[in-house]
Chains A and B, each alone.
Chain A
Amino acid sequence: MNFDFDKAWGEIQSKSGEPTSPEQLLEEALRKKSKGTMEQLKNRLKIKLYYLLFFITSLSIYALFRLNQPNILMLIGVVMLYMLPTGIIIYRYWRGLKNYPEMDGKLVDTLKFYKKSVKKALRVEENFGAFFIVASPLIGFLIAHFEKGGDWETFASDPKRLLIILIIVLVYAPIGLLGSRWMNKKAYGEFLDKLDGNIRELEIAAKA
Chain B
Amino acid sequence: MSERQKEEFLELIHQHEGIMHKVTRLYVDDPEERKDLVQEILFQAFRSFGNFRREANFSTWLYRIALNTVLTWFKKPNVGKQSREVKESDLIDTSEHKKDQGEVLMWALKQISEIDRMIISLSLEGYKNEEIATITGLSKNNIAVKIHRIKQQLTQIIQKA
Residues of A at the B interface (CB closer than 8 Å) are: 1, 3-16, 18, 20, 22-23, 25-26, 28-30, 32-33, 201, 204-205, 207
Closest to A33 in B: B43
Stretch of B6-14, B52-60, B74-82, B138-146 that contacts chain A: B6-14
Contacts of B22 in A (CB 8 A): 12, 14
Determine if A3 and B35 form an interchain contact, defined as CB atoms under 8 angstroms apart.
Answer: no
Cα distance A204–B1 when bound, in Å? 7
Determine if B39 and A5 form an interchain contact, defined as CB atoms under 8 angstroms apart.
Answer: no
Known: A9-B105, A12-B25, A205-B46. A26 touches B155 (CB 8 A): no
Cα distance A207–B5 when bound, in Å? 12
Q: Can you offer 28 A-B residue contacts whose CB atoms are under 8 A?
A: A1-B155, A1-B159, A3-B104, A3-B155, A5-B120, A6-B124, A8-B102, A8-B104, A11-B101, A11-B102, A11-B105, A14-B25, A16-B21, A16-B24, A16-B34, A22-B10, A23-B10, A25-B38, A25-B42, A26-B39, A26-B46, A28-B39, A29-B40, A29-B43, A30-B43, A33-B43, A201-B47, A205-B1
Known: A205-B46, A207-B3. A8 touches B35 (CB 8 A): no
Contacts of B125 in A (CB 8 A): 9
B151 CB contact (under 8 Å) in A5, A16, A205: A5
Determine if A9 and B21 form an interchain contact, defined as CB atoms under 8 angstroms apart.
Answer: no
Contacts of B102 in A (CB 8 A): 8-13
Q: Which of A7, A25, A201 has the most CB of B within 10 A?
A: A25
Closest to A11 in B: B102
Cα distance A9–B151 when bound, in Å? 13
Determine if B35 and A12 form an interchain contact, defined as CB atoms under 8 angstroms apart.
Answer: no
Determine if A20 and B105 form an interchain contact, defined as CB atoms under 8 angstroms apart.
Answer: no
User: Does B100 reach chain A (CB closer than 8 Å)?
Assistant: yes
Cα distance A205–B31 when bound, in Å? 25
